[in-house]
């Protein structure tokens, strides 16, 4: 699609216009403000008979106190005449820890395995080349994931189930559960593969069913409200339930409170087989101390790119107008409008007089949306402004965040932390929360999301109250009487909002002793303590803690580039990889992959005496995900023989003249074949693997040309 340059863009130089033209391949129809299926692609050699689409998405979410556990089921259907591959990009919460995935095809359940990203990609590619149905779940951003599908046959229905957990932290006593349903169109100049348009043979995601079931178990009196959709709650004392049948588009947002806005501080514990975890949420006392507010300089950075057209721009105008009229008379301010080329209200900040504010509001009202979202030049322009001595500088960024330079923005802010505090306002119903929350986190400010149904005036008042109240700073965490380690976060930033401080960690021995949070507030010091021994009830029910702890550590390192321990001897990338593998989490460097081995064909080609080297064979325990139940994998590591040990179920209808076991790779190559005899049913059967290379393989029981059972196993050198 080619967009006509607006008069505003025509004022650019020829060089900038040429850059604008080059960027159009990645613009993704921003000026039309469309979010209809922006990232669903179908691939097929025979394009004439393609009809493949996401049939539906079902979400089953259960919130227990402050922890949400969510099952997402995506159902795909191939209504065409050809086998297809497809990719589907979809959002998740920025705090989601995805720890399980499985696929279902023809009533067979195949459990996905977590692997290093390049290894998972190789397994998926090999399965695709061999004609096997496979799925691959990758992280493109902490809140954006890509599902790749291979070899979905004509008439096939494929279901993918993912499970994630996240912690819900209250703000002023209000908890919020968010399920984002669509990834807004991203502006990128880097031509990232996942930022692509809809391809052949699919229907818009906005026309597919999205069904959400949410149950909140508060543990005390709970009151809930859906602020994004018409989804009334049925409330019964300590529980609240709601169901919604809709289509992807706006984020599903639910606010809930416990016991009249009481913030549920406390601790959760989990005793694992190898590690013990804790999670504490402490709301320090907030005494009413006198505080003299310093002079402040506000720099408002306003997104007027094409994706902000319509309601988002109008909301942004209303919000920034309210913010301006809330300024004190001794404050200063400036406004930077940005799409391609940043434009300033004034070269440097001006006094917050009535005349200056009226002039700024007039300019705001005349602003129109168009062009791409070049946020980095806008931030740099703000940082290049002359510093106002004796003024506390605050940057307030208003945007939908539809960009693909999140980490670059975080790095720029982190390098200039001594210049200002950064507050971010996400404007719209499906904003990029990753960049909104990240700007505020690394910029030691606060994030706000102004979606439909939220009064911009109330948000402006909240922002003003955060700025005017003294922050809790110099926060320290102390443990007494307990051996705690691997504490996250490594350092706690200043606190503006009325929300508890969350500390994760591990401990050794019995849950005894205390954790104390202390910080400076205006002219005083405040502290609060929790005793571990008071929270041992239900200690074995909190298995989600290990995933939440790992996700928190990954979040700080991967999402924001903040190392937990500067003395680590391994790279951040390798540490994240090891965390993903250990705790079965999708990260930037680990992915889930699942392959359906049922389509492995019985073919000859391998010989018993073929020797291509060996390895360590790691098998999967028999489970409900295995097809059939004839083959039982016995041993998973045999160093001396480098062989696989199996046992067969005894049956009377075996045709031993045509019965054999064979080991096959993802590429269809047969590495070993073992003819079976009646006596094999009573003994363990040892088969030389002969595989040599690491990877996924299959052992298949074959009678003639009929596959009776298949199990997968893994070889590691």
What Cα–Cα distance (Å) separates residue 556 from each residue in 279, 535, 549, 560?
Answer: 16, 27, 11, 5
What pLDDT score does 634 carry? 61
Asked whether residue 177 carries a pLDDT value surpassing 90, the answer given is yes
Q: What is the pLDDT of residues 140-168, one digit of tens each?
A: 888 788 899 999 988 889 999 999 999 99
Element (H, E) at 531: strand 524-531
Lowest mean pLDDT among 66-80, 255-269, 561-575, 691-705: 561-575
Asked whether residue 629 carries a pLDDT value surpassing 80, the answer given is no
CB atoms within 10 A of CB 707: 19
Buried b (16+ CB within 10 A) or exposed e, 170-208: bbebebebbbbbbbbbbbbbeeeebbbbbbebbbbbeeb
**pLDDT tier at 572, thresholds 50, 70, 90:** confident
Answer yes or no: are the C-beta atoms of 315 and 431 closer than 8 Å. no
Higher model confidence: residue 619 or residue 138? Answer: 138
d(CA 292, CA 20): 48
Mean pLDDT of 6-28: 26
Q: Give all domains of the chain, ordered by start, each with its CATH number.
A: 7-258 (2.60.40), 296-468 (3.40.50.410), 600-716 (2.60.40.10)
Asked whether residue 24 carries a pLDDT value surpassing 50, the answer given is no
| Mean per-residue pLDDT of the chain | 79
**pLDDT tier at 695, thresholds 50, 70, 90:** low
Strand order, beta sheet including 175-179: 175-179, 252-258, 222-226
**pLDDT tier at 100, thresholds 50, 70, 90:** very high
Answer yes or no: are the C-beta atoms of 172 and 389 closer than 8 Å. no
d(CA 341, CA 355): 26
- For residue 413, give the nearest of 391, 393, 433 by alpha carbon: 393
Q: Are strands 52-64 and 210-217 parallel, antiparallel or unpaired?
A: parallel
d(CA 425, CA 609): 67
Q: What is the pLDDT of residues 214-239, one digit of tens each?
A: 999 887 888 999 999 999 999 888 89
Element (H, E) at 616: strand 616-619
d(CA 106, CA 109): 9
**pLDDT tier at 435, thresholds 50, 70, 90:** confident
Mean pLDDT of 285-303: 76
d(CA 645, CA 635): 6
Q: What is the pLDDT of residues 523-544, one digit of tens each?
A: 678 888 999 999 998 888 889 9
Asked whether residue 203 carries a pLDDT value surpassing 60, the answer given is yes
Q: What is the pLDDT of residues 247-274, one digit of tens each?
A: 888 889 999 988 766 666 789 999 988 9
- ∠ CA 167-172-176, rounded to 5°: 40
Query: 């507010």: which residue's tokens?
Result: 293
What pLDDT score does 473 carry? 77
Both tokens assigned to 116: 């290093």
d(CA 197, CA 38): 5
d(CA 362, CA 447): 27
Asked whether residue 625 carries a pLDDT value surpassing 70, the answer given is no
Q: What is the pLDDT of residues 40-62, one digit of tens each?
A: 778 887 767 778 888 889 999 99
Query: 């033209």: which residue's tokens?
Result: 21
What pLDDT score does 294 carry? 74
d(CA 211, CA 72): 10
Higher model confidence: residue 563 or residue 519? Answer: 519
What pLDDT score does 639 carry? 40
Answer yes or no: are the C-beta atoms of 361 and 324 closer than 8 Å. yes
Asked whether residue 15 carries a pLDDT value surpassing 60, the answer given is no
Can you point out the beta strands (E) in 2-132? 40-43, 52-64, 67-78, 84-91, 97-105, 108-111, 113-116
Highest mean pLDDT among 113-122, 437-446, 483-492, 649-658: 113-122
Higher model confidence: residue 281 or residue 653? Answer: 281
d(CA 263, CA 500): 8
What pLDDT score does 289 carry? 59
CB atoms within 10 A of CB 519: 21
Asked whether residue 25 carries a pLDDT value surpassing 50, the answer given is no
What pLDDT score does 33 carry? 36
Asked whether residue 4 carries a pLDDT value surpassing 60, the answer given is no
Can you point out the beta strands (E) in 185-342? 210-217, 222-226, 234-236, 239-246, 252-258, 266-271, 276-282, 296-303, 332-338
Kindly state the DSSP code that residue 555 receives in the 8-state scheme.
I
- For residue 82, give the nearest of 128, 49, 42 by alpha carbon: 49
Answer yes or no: are the C-beta atoms of 240 and 256 closer than 8 Å. yes
**pLDDT tier at 670, thresholds 50, 70, 90:** confident
What pLDDT score does 488 carry? 87
Q: Which residues contact 277 (CB under 8 A, 6 or more apart)?
A: 269, 270, 504, 505, 506, 507, 542, 545, 546, 549
What pLDDT score does 667 carry? 61
Lowest mean pLDDT among 81-95, 285-299, 400-414, 654-668: 285-299
Higher model confidence: residue 319 or residue 712? Answer: 319
What pLDDT score does 154 carry? 87
Highest mean pLDDT among 191-195, 635-639, 684-688: 684-688
CB atoms within 10 A of CB 380: 12
Mean pLDDT of 5-21: 26
Q: What is the pLDDT of residues 343-383, one digit of tens each?
A: 899 999 999 999 999 999 999 999 888 888 888 899 999 88
d(CA 40, CA 185): 12
Higher model confidence: residue 590 or residue 639? Answer: 590
φ, ψ (nearest 5 deg) of residue 77: -135, 130
What pLDDT score does 219 carry? 78
**pLDDT tier at 568, thresholds 50, 70, 90:** low
Q: Which residues contact 232 (CB under 8 A, 6 or more apart)?
A: 226, 242
Higher model confidence: residue 424 or residue 283? Answer: 424
Both tokens assigned to 319: 């919000």
What pLDDT score does 716 carry? 63
Asked whether residue 117 carries a pLDDT value surpassing 80, the answer given is yes
Dihedral angle at the C-alpha atoms of 288, 294, 297, 298, nearest 10 degrees?
A: 10
Prediction pTM value: 0.70
Asked whether residue 292 carries a pLDDT value surpassing 90, the answer given is no
């Amino acid at each position: 699609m080619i967009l006509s340059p607006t008069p505003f863009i025509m004022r650019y130089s020829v060089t900038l216009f040429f850059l604008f033209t080059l960027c159009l391949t990645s613009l993704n129809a921003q000026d039309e403000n469309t979010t209809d299926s922006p990232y669903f692609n179908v691939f097929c050699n025979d394009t004439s008979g393609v009809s493949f689409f996401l049939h539906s998405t079902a979400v089953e979410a259960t919130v227990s106190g402050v922890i949400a556990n969510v099952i997402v089921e995506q159902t795909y259907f191939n209504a065409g005449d050809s086998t297809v591959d497809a990719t589907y990009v979809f959002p998740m919460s920025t705090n989601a820890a995805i720890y399980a995935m499985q696929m279902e095809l023809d009533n067979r359940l195949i459990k996905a395995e977590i692997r290093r990203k390049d290894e998972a990609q190789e397994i998926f590619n090999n399965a695709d080349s061999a004609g096997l149905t496979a799925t691959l779940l990758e992280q493109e951003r902490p809140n954006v994931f890509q599902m790749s599908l291979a070899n979905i046959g004509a008439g096939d229905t494929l279901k993918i189930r993912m499970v994630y957990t996240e912690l819900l932290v209250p703000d002023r006593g209000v908890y919020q559960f968010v399920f984002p349903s669509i990834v807004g169109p991203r502006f990128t100049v880097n031509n990232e593969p996942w930022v692509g348009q809809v391809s052949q043979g699919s229907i818009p995601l906005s026309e597919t069913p999205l069904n959400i079931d949410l149950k909140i178990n508060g543990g005390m009196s709970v009151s809930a409200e859906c602020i994004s959709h018409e989804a009334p709650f049925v409330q019964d004392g300590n529980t609240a339930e709601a169901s919604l049948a809709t289509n992807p588009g706006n984020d599903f947002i639910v606010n809930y409170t416990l016991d009249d806005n009481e913030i549920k501080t406390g601790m959760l514990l989990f005793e694992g087989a190898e590690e013990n975890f804790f999670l504490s949420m402490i709301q320090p006392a907030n005494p009413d101390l006198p505080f003299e507010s310093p002079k402040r300089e506000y720099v408002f950075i306003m997104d007027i790119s094409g994706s902000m057209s319509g309601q988002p721009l109008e909301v942004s105008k209303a919000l920034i107008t309210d913010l301006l009229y809330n300024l004190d008379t001794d404050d200063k301010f400036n406004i930077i409008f940005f799409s391609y080329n940043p434009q300033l209200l004034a070269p440097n900040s001006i006094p917050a007089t009535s005349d200056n504010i009226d002039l700024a509001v007039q300019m705001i009202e005349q602003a129109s949306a168009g062009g791409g979202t070049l946020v980095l030049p806008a931030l740099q322009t703000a940082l290049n402004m002359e510093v106002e001595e004796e003024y506390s500088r605050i940057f307030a960024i208003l945007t939908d965040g539809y960009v693909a330079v999140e980490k670059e923005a975080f790095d720029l802010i982190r390098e200039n932390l001594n210049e200002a505090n950064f507050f971010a306002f996400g404007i719209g119903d499906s904003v990029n929360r990753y960049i909104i929350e990240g700007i505020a986190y690394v910029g030691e400010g606060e994030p706000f999301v102004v979606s439909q149904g939220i009064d911009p005036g109330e948000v402006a008042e909240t922002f003003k109250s955060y700025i005017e109240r003294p922050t809790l700073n110099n926060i320290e965490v102390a443990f007494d009487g307990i051996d705690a380690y691997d504490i996250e976060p490594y350092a706690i930033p200043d606190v503006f909002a009325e929300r508890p401080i969350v500390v994760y960690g591990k401990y050794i021995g019995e849950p005894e002793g205390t954790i104390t949070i202390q910080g400076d507030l205006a002219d005083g010091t405040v502290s609060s303590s929790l005793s571990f021994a008071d929270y041992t009830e239900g200690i074995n029910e909190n298995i989600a803690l290990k995933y939440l702890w790992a996700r928190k550590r990954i979040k700080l390192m991967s999402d924001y580039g903040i190392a937990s321990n500067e003395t680590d001897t391994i790279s951040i990338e390798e540490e994240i990889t090891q965390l993903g593998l250990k705790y079965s989490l999708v990260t930037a460097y680990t992915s889930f992959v699942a392959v359906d081995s049922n389509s492995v064909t019985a073919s000859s080609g391998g010989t018993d005496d073929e020797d291509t080297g060996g390895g360590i064979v790691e098998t999967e325990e028999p489970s409900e995900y295995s097809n059939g139940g004839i083959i039982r994998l016995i041993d998973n590591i045999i160093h001396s023989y480098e062989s696989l040990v199996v046992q067969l179920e005894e049956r009377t209808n075996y045709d031993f003249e045509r019965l054999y076991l064979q080991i096959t790779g993802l590429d269809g190559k047969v590495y070993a074949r073992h003819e079976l005899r009646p006596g094999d049913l009573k003994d363990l059967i040892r088969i030389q693997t002969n595989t040599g290379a690491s990877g996924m393989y299959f052992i298949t029981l074959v009678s003639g040309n009929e596959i009776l059972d298949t199990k997968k196993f893994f070889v590691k050198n």
